[in-house]
Amino acid sequence: MPYLESIRVFVRVIELGSITAAGRDQRLTPAVASNRIKELEARLGVRLLNRTTRRLAPTEIGRIFYDHARRIIEAVDEAEAVVAQHAGRPRGAIRVLAPLGIGRRVIA
């Protein structure tokens, strides 16, 4: 779902205030996050963000799109959560902490 993921990156750019922070949040490099925004702008045929060396801000149409996009992302996240509850499968990240020596033996 590249289009949906591009929308998700755009929403996070607005919320976090930078492409770098949004990329980090979505586990993307800044270059990939920037390309997602450019692809989204190309698909929509409008500029969503005003970029300067010091700041990044949504255009007027970017603010309007953000309001709709945020609701779309929230609806998709909610739908996935409902499906996950009914599927009975755990969802989310698992973090494992172990002493360095054990990690070296297991991974090596």
Please tell me the distance from the alpha carbon of residue 6 to that of residue 25, in angstroms, as a whole number: 13
The pLDDT of residue 87 is 80
Kindly tell me if the per-residue pLDDT of 96 is higher than 80: no
Domain ranges within the chain, ordered by starting residue: 2-87
The pLDDT of residue 91 is 65
- pTM of the prediction? 0.77
pLDDT tens string 27-50: 999 999 999 999 999 999 999 999
Q: Which CATH class is domain 2-87?
A: mainly alpha
Averaged pLDDT for residues 5-14: 97
Amino acid of residue 77: D
DSSP string, 15-81: HHSSHHHHHHHTT--HHHHHHHHHHHHHHHTS--EEE-SS-EEE-HHHHHHHHHHHHHHHHHHHHHH
